[in-house]
Amino acid sequence: MLLETSIVMEDRKNESEKERNDSRLGWIGFIFCLVIAFLVFRFVIGFIVISGDSMNPTLENGNVVLSSNIFFTVDRHDIIIYRDHNGFDVVKRVIGLPNDRIMIQDGSIVVNGQMMNEPYRMGAFNDMEEVVVPKDAYFVVGDNRTPGESLDSRSSNVGPIHKSTIQGKVLISLFPFSLALNK
């Protein structure tokens, strides 16, 4: 009887220790998943709430977009997020690539002598003399081209943006949902 009681007590002790180890492993797994989720949402993808009207009609004030912050390439017509000199994240459309010649003539953007087709733009804007986009830089504008609506590369206060300031590329609009942003 004493031997049976001792064996039962030993079994309960082993079961209790196994439960504690399982519990510790569960917590370690949970914390690991939280760290991975934090790193993914901090460095790989991002959620941005649009503030302002400079990207109308494509993106409106209050829209929520998803961006890729690591795995992206910048092409003409892409909507990107870059960090301005004040530390704010800014959303604009890429019009000019490195070494492109950009000018605005009769309210239309001309890139390397070819007038751009921009079905996404709104408003008309002032003409601009030709500029050459520096190496490692991009010429960006808002889709709302009405004077005073978008502070972008047309302004001498902004100019072409350096590629090192680009934080990511907008992939889709989550609210309202839309896949067709970078066309």
Annotated catalytic residues are 54, 92
* CB burial of residue 74 (10 Å; 0-12, 13-18, 19+): middle
Q: Which amino acid is at 101?
A: R
Query: If DSSP codes are grouped into helix, strand and coil, which group holds residue 140?
Result: strand
Residue 98 burial (CB count, 10 A): 15
Residue appearing with tokens 């910048």:
74
CA distances 77 to 7, 16, 24, 159, Å, are 74, 62, 50, 17
**Rounded to whole angstroms, how far apart are CA atoms 169 and 138?**
13
